[in-house]
Amino acid sequence: MSEKQSADASTLNLREDSRPGDREGIEAIVTATGFFTPAEIEVAIELFDERESKGPASGYHFVFAERAARLIGYACFGPIPCTQHSYDLYWIAVHPETQGRGLGRAILAAAERAIRERGGKRVYIETSSRAQYRDTRGFYTRTGYELEATLRDFYAPGDDKAIYSRALSPTD
Amino acid sequence: MSEKQSADASTLNLREDSRPGDREGIEAIVTATGFFTPAEIEVAIELFDERESKGPASGYHFVFAERAARLIGYACFGPIPCTQHSYDLYWIAVHPETQGRGLGRAILAAAERAIRERGGKRVYIETSSRAQYRDTRGFYTRTGYELEATLRDFYAPGDDKAIYSRALSPTD
C-alpha cells in the first residue's frame, strides 16, 4: 500500500448528503453499539427513510462520518416545529470499534455547524437516566450541554428522561 | 322547538371516531381561539390528516366533542415512541363561544380515559410560558397536572416551554 493510499484510508470524511449503503451502515452501527432495542433501531432507520423519501421537508438532516468509504458514525437532527430556532439532535451514534477517539465529538461539532448554518441557535438532546447511558450523559456534559430538565419515569418506571440543551454561539 | 329537540341540542357528545366535517370543524375551532399562528393551525390539521390516512398507526388519537351535531372542541393525543406507557396530549382546544363551561375539563377527562384504556399511565402536556397561555396553564394545574420542567427560550427568546405531567391512577 502506498503512503498516499494509507493517508486516504485514515482520513475522516464528514458529509451531509447520503450515499448508497448508508441505510445498511446506520443499521450496522446502531446494532453494533448494543445500546438500542429492536424498536429503537427501527426508529433510527425510519428517520433515514423519511429523509430519503421526503428530502429536507422531512425535517431530518444527517451528518455521516466515514473513513475509507466505510460509515463509522452519524448524527440525525432537525428543526423543532413551531419554534423559532430550536433544533433536536435525534440521534448520534459511533461504531463501537471506533469509539473513544474523538469521533463522537467531531460528528457532534459537524451537526452543530450544520444547525448554525440553518439558523439554529439552541440544540436539545434527550436521553435516558439509566446507568447504561452514563457515558453518553458524560459526553454531552463535556461537549457543552447542560442538563436542563429531568422527567421522572418518562420511558418507564425508574427510567427518567434527561433533557440537555446548549445555546450555540455564532462563533463556536 | 319541542322539549325533546331542545334536550338533544344541549347534549354533549364525546366520540373518538371522526365524522365528515371534523377537518373543517378543527380548523374553525383553532382559528376562532385566536391563539394559534397559521403554522400552528397547519400542524393541527396535519395531525388530523395523518390520522385519517394512516389510522391508529399514525400514533394520533382524537376525542371529538359535539353538541347539536356541531364540533365545539377536541383533543389529540398519542403514545410517545420508545416509552413504556407515556402519552403526549398534543392538542386540546375548545371553541371560544363555549369556553368556561367545563367543556375543556370534559374533553381532557375523555382523553385521559381513552389513554388509560390503551394502557397509558403518564400524560405529558407542553405549553408556552407566555402570558397569553396563563389561563391554559391554570387549567392544567386545576385538572391535576404538575409543572415538571421548564425549558428556557425553547420556542423563542423569552418564550419558554413548560412541561406538565400527570400520573394516571387506574381509578381516575
- CA distances, A108 to each of A67, A76, B64 (Å): 16, 10, 43
Task: Give, rounded to a whole angstrom, the gap between the first and last alpha carbons of chain B.
Answer: 38
- CB atoms closer than 10 angstroms to residue A172: 11
Q: Which of A82, A122, A148 sits opposite B40 (nearest CB)?
A: A82
Residue B80: pLDDT over 70: yes
Q: Which residue has the cell 446548549?
A: A166
The alpha-carbon gap from B148 to the nearest alpha carbon of chain A, in Å, equals 7
Each residue of B70-90: b (16+ CB within 10 Å) or e? ebbbbbbbbbbebbbbbbbbb
Q: Which residue has the higher pLDDT, A31 or B4?
A: A31
Q: What pLDDT is stored for residue B3 in this prediction?
A: 44
Q: What is the pLDDT of residues A10-33, one digit of tens each?
A: 789 999 999 999 999 999 999 999
> How many interface pairs between A and B have CB atoms less than 8 angstroms apart?
63
Give phi and psi for B81, each to the nearest 5. -55, 145
pTM for the model? 0.87
All residues of chain A having their beta carbon less than 8 Å from the beta carbon of residue B84 are 155-157, 159
The alpha-carbon gap from A164 to the nearest alpha carbon of chain B, in Å, equals 10
Q: What pLDDT is stored for residue B10 in this prediction?
A: 77
Asked if residues B30 and B71 have their Cβ atoms less than 8 Å apart, the reply is: no
For residue B95, which of B13, B143, B31 has the smallest C-alpha distance? B31
Residue B6: pLDDT over 60: no
Q: How confident is the model at residue A168 (pLDDT cuts 50, 70, 90)?
A: very high
Cβ–Cβ gap B82/A156 under 8 Å = no
Q: What is the pLDDT of residues B47-77, one digit of tens each?
A: 999 999 999 999 999 999 999 889 999 999 9
Q: Which of A85, A151, A163 sits opposite B165 (nearest CB)?
A: A151
ipTM, two decimals, is 0.86
Q: How confident is the model at residue A1 (pLDDT cuts 50, 70, 90)?
A: very low
The alpha-carbon gap from A82 to the nearest alpha carbon of chain B, in Å, equals 7
Q: Which of A84, A124, A159 sits opposite B156 (nearest CB)?
A: A84
